[in-house]
Structure 1
Amino acid sequence: MKKHGILNSHISKILSDLGHTDYIVVADIGLPIPSGVPKIDLALTYGIPAFQQVVDLIADDMVIEKVILAEEIRTDNVPQANYMEKKFLGTPMEWCTHEKFKELSRHAKVIIRTGEATPYANCILQAGVHFG
């Protein structure tokens, strides 16, 4: 049994299998899951687990070279936008329309569905490389 880190075996395996530039999506309860993209559903009830909790845990265990967010989060969910900008300070961030975000999510290795029930609380985390 693991001593620390992510205990969810599905998430742990996905993170171990990621290659450079692969995408994973951390999503709220409303993001549509594209056909053919695996989903890891963590949602227990509204708000549990929270988007920020899941992002924090994944960020501790993943080399992230870029974060992609929907532009709409800036106006329709300012607290989550502020959290993401602070959390990934120094990491390149890309902003796109929510429609474009949904298109990009079709290329994800997995979508991790949280219990988050606030608008546009979704992000694409692009894997980087850890040498050394």
Structure 2
Amino acid sequence: MKKQGMLNSHISKVLSDLGHTDTIVIADAGLPIPEGVPKIDVALKLGTPSFQEIVELIAEDMVVERVILAAEIKAGNPAALQFVTEKFGDDATDVSLSHEQFKALTRQAKVVIRTGEATPYANCILQSGVIFG
């Protein structure tokens, strides 16, 4: 048994396989999952686990170079935007895409991790960085 870090074997495998610029999606309970993109469903009930909980856990094991959010998060879920900005910084946070453009970009992700989050626009695309210079 693993001693620390991500215990979910499916998520751990995905994180271990990521290369530079690969992406994963952390999704609320309502985001559509594109056909052909694997889904890891960690939702237990509405609200559990939260978007914030899963982003925190993933960030412990993943080098995140860039975070992409839908522009609608600014008005639709400012608390989620503030959390992501505080976690990753303004320079790493991109809110330039519409929600429709965001959903189209999810087709390129290695996986969508579906949470139980039940607030609007609590979705992000995390782009992998590297651990060396």
Gaps of 5+ in 2: none
When normalised by structure 1's length, the TM-score is 0.97
Any conservation in 2 of the 1:67–1:91 contact (CA below 8 Å)? no
More helix per residue: 2
Any conservation in 1 of the 2:84–2:93 contact (CA below 8 Å)? no
Partner of 1:97: 98
Q: 2 CA distance for matches of 1:91 and 1:43?
A: 30
* 1:2 partnered with 2:21: no
Partner of 2:121: 120
| Same amino acid, percent of matched pairs | 64
Gaps of 5+ in 1: none
* 1:49 partnered with 2:67: no
Q: Report the CA distance between 1:90 and its aligned residue.
A: 5.5
Q: What aligned pairs does 1:1-132 form with structure 2 within 5 A after superposition? A: 1-89=1-89, 91-95=91-95, 96-131=97-132
- Cα distance per residue 1:5-48 (max 9 Å; x no partner): 11000000000000110000000000000000000000000000
Superposed structure 1 runs of 4+ greater than 3 Å apart: none
Q: 2 CA distance for matches of 1:20 and 1:91?
A: 18
Letter in 2 for 1:116: E
Report how many residues are paired.
132
Q: 2 CA distance for matches of 1:92 and 1:42?
A: 26
Q: Report the CA distance between 1:89 and its aligned residue.
A: 1.5
Q: 2 CA distance for matches of 1:80 and 1:26?
A: 12
Of residues 90-99 and 17-26 in structure 1, the stretch that sits farther from structure 2 once superposed is 90-99
Q: 2 CA distance for matches of 1:103 and 1:114?
A: 19
When normalised by structure 2's length, the TM-score is 0.96
- Cα distance per residue 1:66-122 (max 9 Å; x no partner): 000001011011111111111111652212100000000000000000000000000
